[in-house]
Amino acid sequence: MAGQEISKQEKQQIERALLAAKGNPGQYQRIQIVHLRAAHGMTQEAIAKAVGVSRSTVSRGHMAWFEKGMASFELQPRGGRIRENMTRAEEAAFLKGFTHQAGAGELICISDIQAAYEKKIGRKTGSTTIYSLLERHDWRKLMPRPHHPQRDIQAQKRFKKSSKA
């Protein structure tokens, strides 16, 4: 990094970008990291202290500048369903295939929905993904589980034999 220099023309571009980014704090900070190196020759440690970020953030900012130039100052969009498998419309269309069963009063198992979902997206997924999908589309669980998963069948039989109602 120390061997890479920023040309006079690039310094001017950086200064113009810095002035233009006054209203965008995230972008301003990115530009400032490169500007302090270009205009003042500051070390990464000094820049980190001046800007209020870690030294690794400064290093990543410099690497991005030398790799992408002015494009490194553009911020990536944040938020939303970044790792979504399907859009909400695709999910709604997927669930439509199960609405006829639910409307007819039949039980729909999560494992059936999960198997169809995995087939559609082409890979395995967890059951929590399916529960989240159902919650997003206002599906709800109406039937309680038929028995406790840690039930003691022998104790139930003893109880039935000993209770004379």
Q: What is the pLDDT of residues 92-112, one digit of tens each?
A: 999 998 888 777 767 788 899
Same domain, 45 and 69: yes
Same domain, 19 and 67: yes
Same domain, 67 and 114: no
Closest CA to 33 of 62, 63, 68, 69: 62
Closest CA to 116 of 104, 133, 103: 133
Tell me if 59 is assigned to some domain: yes
Domain containing residue 14: 8-73
Tell me if 20 is assigned to some domain: yes
Number of domains in the chain: 2
Same domain, 110 and 67: no
Quote the pTM value. 0.48
Same domain, 111 and 56: no
Please name the helix (run of DSSP H) or strand (run of DSSP E) that holds residue 51, with its range, or none: helix 44-51
| Residue 1 scores a pLDDT above 50 | no
Tell me if 160 is assigned to some domain: no
| Residue 56 scores a pLDDT above 90 | yes
DSSP tag of 80? S
C-alpha 113/C-alpha 94 separation (Å) is: 9
State the CB neighbour count (10 A cutoff) for residue 60: 15
